[in-house]
């Protein structure tokens, strides 16, 4: 019975991991409150999560280190996604509400653009947290990898879409679960997505090592 409460026991390691996820979630939520800093917060969260999965570093220290170092580019990437996403959403709403011959075609086109936007968005910040590249190259890589690893991309989109789906379809439960979003969900989602990216990132690293040889 004593062994259950040892620092190296599965129970204590699990509780320690849960505490790290909660702390990271709270910090990420607070840093994203200004909205314009959401991209930097997401990038820092993925960076810290990569170290946490490998049992390296210190989660909060890693978060703020990545937040500072990636702030400028992450903010640019986020503003590009925010503005383009808002335009796509407005276009879809407008074309679906007007009566015109080409409305259906335009709704389909904007729907396709929305799917592309989602694919770019779910890859952009994990890539930014893991690799250095220009913003243009970042979006190119995000688009390419989203196609190469399409099943994983779909899972990543679904994970990120959970709060939105709950808000739209089960609104009362969204507010009932408010504590979950604030305390745990976003770091848990980042953890799951970072796990999904382990194989793609390892493949990229292997190819880089071969190219260097």
Non-local CB neighbours of 180 within 8 Å, separated by 6+ positions? none
pLDDT tens digits for range 140-191: 999 999 999 999 999 999 999 999 899 888 888 888 888 888 889 999 999 9
The residue with greater pLDDT, 207 or 40, is 40
Specify the pLDDT at position 1.
47
pLDDT at residue 4 greater than cutoff 70: no
Structure tokens at 130: 């893991």
Specify the pLDDT at position 120.
97
Q: Reduce the DSSP state of residue 37 to 3 states and report it.
A: coil
Specify the pLDDT at position 9.
62
pLDDT tens digits for range 20-73: 999 999 999 999 999 999 999 999 999 999 999 988 878 999 999 999 999 999
Say if CB 129 and CB 70 are below 8 A apart.
Answer: yes
Among 83, 159, 165, 86, which residue's Cα sits nearest to residue 126?
159
The whole model's pTM is what? 0.90
CA distance 189 to 134: 26
Q: What percent of the chain is modeled with pLDDT above 90?
A: 65
Specify the pLDDT at position 8.
65
Specify the pLDDT at position 195.
94
Terminal-residue alpha carbon distance, the chain: 52
């Amino acid at each position: 019975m004593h062994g259950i409460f040892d620092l190296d026991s599965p129970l204590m390691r699990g509780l320690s991991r849960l505490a790290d996820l909660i702390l990271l979630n709270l910090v990420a939520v607070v840093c994203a409150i200004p909205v314009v800093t959401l991209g930097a917060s997401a990038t820092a969260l993925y960076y810290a999560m990569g170290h946490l999965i490998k049992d390296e570093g210190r989660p909060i220290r890693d978060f703020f280190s990545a937040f500072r170092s990636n702030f400028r580019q992450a903010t640019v990437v986020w503003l590009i996604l925010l503005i383009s996403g808002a335009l796509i959403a407005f276009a879809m709403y407008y074309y679906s509400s007007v009566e015109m011959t080409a409305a259906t075609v335009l709704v389909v086109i904007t729907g396709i653009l929305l799917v592309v936007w989602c694919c770019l968005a779910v890859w952009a910040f994990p890539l930014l947290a893991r690799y250095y590249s220009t913003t243009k190259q970042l979006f190119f890589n995000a688009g390419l990898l989203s196609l190469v690893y399409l099943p994983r991309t779909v899972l990543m989109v679904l994970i990120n879409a959970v709060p939105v789906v709950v808000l739209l379809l089960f609104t009362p439960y969204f507010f009932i679960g408010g504590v979950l979003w604030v305390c745990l969900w976003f770091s848990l989602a980042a953890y799951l997505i970072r796990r999904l990216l382990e194989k793609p990132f390892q493949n990229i690293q292997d190819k880089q090592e071969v190219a260097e040889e």
